[in-house]
Structure 1
Amino acid sequence: MADDKYLKRNGIDAHKLKEEFLGDGKNSNYDIYINKDSGELWIFRKGGKGDGIATGEFIK
C-alpha cells in the first residue's frame, strides 16, 4: 500500500486520485497500491481485495 505522505512527496494527491476514479463517497474504503515492476498506481478495496483499477499514474 502506498503511504499518503509518500504519494504527496511524489506529487500525487491520494484523495483526488481516488475521487477521479471512484467519485465522491466511500473513498476511505479503498487504498492505493504501487505496482513494483512498472511503478503504476492501482486502486484496490482495503486489504488489496477484488479487482484493482489501473490509474495510468506512475511513480518512478
Structure 2
Amino acid sequence: MPGYRGAFSHGSAHWHPDFGLLIDRTWRLLASPATLRRTNIVAGLLLILVGLVIAMVQ
C-alpha cells in the first residue's frame, strides 16, 4: 500500500514519543518469572471457579 506507515508510525495522529518505552517496560515486567507464575496461578483459579459455577448452574 503506497503511503501506509503502520499503526504506530510517527505520522500517526495518536503517536506519543514515550509509547515505545512504555511497551518495553511493560514487556519486561510481564516477562519476569514471578509475574508469569502469578498470572498462571490466577488463570488456573479462575478456570476452576468458572467450572464450579457451570457445574452449579446445571
The interval holding the TM-score normalised by the smaller chain is: under 0.3
Give 1 or 2: higher helix fraction: 2
Give 1 or 2: higher strand fraction: 1
The TM-score with structure 1 as length reference comes to 0.19
